Amino acid sequence: MTDAQPIQTSPVPRPFADQLVSAVKGWEKGVLLAGISLQLVVLLGMTAWRSYALERGDVYYVRVQPVDPRDLFRGDYVILSYAFSRLPTELWGDPQAQPGRTIYVELVPEGDGKHWHAGRFGFRPPPHGPYLRGKIVGSGRIEYGIESFFVQEGKGRRYEEAARRGQLTAEIAVTPDGQAVLRNLHVN
């Protein structure tokens, strides 16, 4: 541990170090309170951001595609993939389709009255209708922030099997600007 006496063989940055530590120690209580506030702001921000989407977003059901079973269940969460997780072939080679680029996909209702699937993809938000906002992450893959579902330890097996049989549906909440949050998973 430390807290030893200051040593006289002073290094070069001491004057600034002195100022910095004196300033921090002079406001010790304030700095500690600011630290606690910062921690709370971060945690509340994370909570509020997702809670808003969950509470205010419209709910849609989308089909989950089977993923390589070796990768599907890893530890305590299930990896999910959707039909709209792949970049459509017409956009391959498009100079705009670079990793990190935001991409929008329209949601179109299916005939069963419950599920929705992907419509047109584009680099601008569609003028009307529900849509998802995602990011290209390389290898022609798009992520929407709804690709992980955390489960209690040992409870992921039934989702894995349902996804393999193509019987898994994701319930997502989507805000008007296309931000999606995963609400739940349903086995059909």
Q: Let me know: does 83 contact 63? Beta carbons within 8 Å.
A: yes
Q: What are phi and psi of 164, to 5 degrees?
A: -65, -35
Among 91, 126, 149, 160, binds another protein (CB under 8 A): 149
One of 114, 148, 177, 187 touching another protein (CB under 8 A): 148
| Separation of alpha carbons 154 and 172, rounded Å | 24
| Encoded tokens for 36 | 């606690």
Q: Provide the residue count of the chain.
A: 188
> Is residue 3 near another protein by the rule CB under 8 A?
yes
95 lies in the binding site for another protein (CB under 8 A): no
Q: Is 91 in the site for another protein (CB under 8 A)?
A: no
CA–CA separation, 176 vs 188, rounded Å?
A: 27
Interface residues with another protein (CB under 8 A) are 1-7, 9-14, 16-18, 20-21, 24-25, 28-29, 31-32, 34-36, 38-40, 42-43, 46-47, 50-51, 54, 76-77, 99-101, 135-138, 143, 145-153, 155, 181-182
